[in-house]
Structures are given as structure tokens and as C-alpha cells.
């Protein structure tokens, strides 16, 4: 599984990265990386077909554990994913709020 550190992730955001935030709704609403899509781990099996296998996704959670689990699952199902190490708590930039 591919992973990326926070510095590299910040650079990818400037290139229009597709971000999947896999936390639950209350966590996402309380602050997420700008441009992130709410895609909770708890409903990933139900919603996986919403994703495009030709798109690279950067997967983030709070600290990195759920994003690693999600990245492994998506990769096993043929998706191009990159796990964001350190999660949202390590993010140095501004956050967006709400769903």
C-alpha cells in the first residue's frame, strides 16, 4: 500500500488531489482538510461503487489507522489509493467545517 506524509500531501492538494475522509459524520463536521469528500469507513462496502477505479484517491482519517485500513481494502478491490500518514490531527493547514 502506498502512503504519503503530510508535506507531500500538502503538495498534492495543490494539484487537485481527490481526498476521501473516512471518519464518521460528527468528526468530519468538526473539521476536515479542504476539499475532502465525506466517505465513512462504516459504510464503505455499501458505497464503494461510487468510486472510480481510474481516479487516484488520498485516504485520510483522524490519526491514520482507519485510513490505512480503508486504503488496504480499496487497493484489494482494484482502486488506486494513497494513505495519508498522521491523519487530520497532523494537518498543518486550515480546516473546513460542516458536511
Residue 99 lies in a domain: no
Is position 61 annotated as part of the catalytic site?
Answer: yes
User: Of the listed 33, 51, 60, 61, which one is catalytic?
Assistant: 61
d(CA 2, CA 84): 9
pTM of the predicted protein model:
0.96
Residue 28 lies in a domain: yes
Whether the Cβ atoms of residue 63 and residue 89 lie closer than 8 Å to each other = yes
CATH number of the domain within which 47 lies? 3.40.250.10
Residue 75 lies in a domain: yes
Residue 43 lies in a domain: yes
> What's the domain count of the chain?
1
- Say what percent of the chain tops pLDDT 90: 94
Region 17-25 average pLDDT: 97
- pLDDT single digits (tens) 32-78: 999 999 999 999 999 999 999 999 999 999 999 999 999 999 999 99
Task: Note the pLDDT of residue 99.
Answer: 83
Mark 30-57 as b/e (b = at least 16 C-beta within 10 Å).
eebbeebebbbbeebeeeeeebeeeeeb
The range of the structural domain enclosing residue 83 comes to 2-90
Amino acid at each position: 500500500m502506498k502512503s504519503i506524509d503530510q508535506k507531500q500531501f500538502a503538495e498534492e492538494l495543490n494539484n487537485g488531489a481527490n481526498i476521501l475522509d473516512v471518519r464518521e459524520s460528527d468528526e468530519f463536521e468538526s473539521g476536515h482538510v479542504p476539499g475532502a469528500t465525506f466517505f465513512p469507513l462504516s459504510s464503505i462496502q455499501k458505497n464503494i461503487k461510487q468510486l472510480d477505479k481510474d481516479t487516484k484517491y488520498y485516504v485520510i482519517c483522524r490519526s491514520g489507522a482507519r485510513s490505512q485500513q480503508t486504503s488496504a481494502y480499496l487497493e484489494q478491490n482494484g482502486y488506486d489509493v494513497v494513505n495519508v500518514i498522521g491523519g487530520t490531527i497532523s494537518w498543518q493547514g486550515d480546516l473546513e467545517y460542516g458536511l
